[in-house]
Every structure is written in C-alpha cells, then in structure tokens.
C-alpha cells in the first residue's frame, strides 16, 4: 500500500477472545491494546491516528473472523508491561529511556450483525489481497478502505459516521 494514500487509514486488530474479546471492549468502552511484541505490528501501531477505524478480529477460536469495529482512542505510547519483570510481556532490552514496544487505546464502535469468517474472506475475490490472507500471522494490519467497507457490508453492518 502506498504511503501517500490519504487519511484516514483503516486497520485490522487481532485478539484471542479468551484474552480480550469484542464483548470485553464493549463492556469497557475504551481498552488498552498492549502486549504487541512483533516489530512490524508495533510499527503499524505507531502509524495509527486517533479516530481511525479498525476491524476487530477474533483469532484462535471457532470460527475465526471479524466480529466488530473499533477506533483508535489514543495514539501509540510506551507499553508499561515491557518494564515489568513480573509481566509476561517483560522485555529486558527495553528501558524507560529507550522503550522498544508501543501500545494504543481503542474505543468500541459496534458489533457486526454477523461475523465475517476467515473462510468467507478467503472466498471473496476482492479480499484476496488482504494482509490477513497474505501474511496471516501479523496481528496489527493495514486494510484498504475498499476492504474495510466490503467486510462491513458482508457482516451486515453500516459504516460509522464521523469521529
């Protein structure tokens, strides 16, 4: 995707629902997106702008797929768990002066009326170039506007207006 494409950009965020589900985010209103320990995913987090929309994807469940929408509530800041030796996400190479890992906050927007499964996405020709299909393991991904809108449509949802 060209870097000069106009804002807003669109995103896909993966979470295991056993860890943090769309229902958890709905309950919380705004939630932390932390624990990312992969450099490309982190770099994507750092590109995300407040107000931009993301597809909320449930991974490692049956079936996997997009279940709803959220938006960036707070842009990237240092993930405190990297400094905490007690945390699963502790990184001994990170220091307060030179943090390695970032997190964002996201705000709940909506559930899609129907989940859009990975199977469905793979079966939709216009979605064949999605990062989700091409680089399955990346947990924070860019999505084109067209892909975003197509998935919302497949899920029977409506595009949220404004910020």
Partner DNA sequence: GCCAACGTTGGC
Binding residue for DNA (CB under 7 A) from 135, 156, 159, 160?
135
Beta-strand ranges (E) seen in 34-153 are 53-58, 65-78, 102-117, 140-143
Name the residue nearer to DNA (CB basis): 59 or 114: 59
Q: How far apart are CA 33 and CA 160, in angstroms?
A: 21
Residues 53-112 that bind DNA (CB under 7 A): 59-60, 63-64, 93
Q: Which stretch binds DNA (CB under 7 A): 31-39, 45-53, 74-82, 144-152?
A: 31-39
Q: Which stretch binds DNA (CB under 7 A): 1-9, 23-31, 102-110, 131-139?
A: 131-139
Binding residue for DNA (CB under 7 A) from 118, 127, 151, 152?
118
Q: Is residue 46 near DNA by the rule CB under 7 A?
A: no
Q: Is residue 159 near DNA by the rule CB under 7 A?
A: no
What DSSP string runs through 18-57? TTS-HHHHHHHSEEEE-----HHHHHHHHH--TT-EEEEE
Binding residue for DNA (CB under 7 A) from 9, 13, 14, 130?
14
Q: How far apart are CA 53 and CA 11, in angstroms?
A: 6
Q: Nearest 5°: CA angle at 40, between 143 and 45?
A: 65
- Contact positions vs DNA (CB under 7 A): 14, 16, 37-40, 59-60, 63-64, 93, 118-119, 122, 135-139
């Amino acid at each position: 995707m060209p870097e000069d494409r106009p804002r807003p950009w669109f995103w896909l965020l993966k979470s295991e629902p056993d860890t943090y589900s769309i229902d958890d985010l709905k309950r919380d209103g705004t939630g932390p997106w932390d624990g990312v320990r992969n450099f490309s995913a982190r770099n994507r987090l750092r590109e995300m702008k407040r107000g931009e929309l993301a597809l909320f994807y449930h991974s490692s469940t049956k079936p996997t797929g997009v279940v709803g929408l959220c938006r960036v509530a707070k842009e990237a800041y240092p993930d405190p768990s990297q400094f905490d030796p007690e945390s699963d996400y502790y990184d001994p190479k990170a220091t307060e002066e030179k943090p390695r890992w970032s997190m964002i906050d996201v705000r709940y927007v909506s559930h899609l009326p129907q989940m859009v499964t990975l199977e469905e996405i793979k079966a939709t020709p216009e979605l064949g170039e999605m990062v989700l299909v091409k680089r399955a393991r990346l947990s924070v991904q860019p999505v084109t506007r067209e892909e975003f809108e197509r998935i919302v449509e497949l899920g029977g949802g409506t595009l949220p207006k404004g910020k």
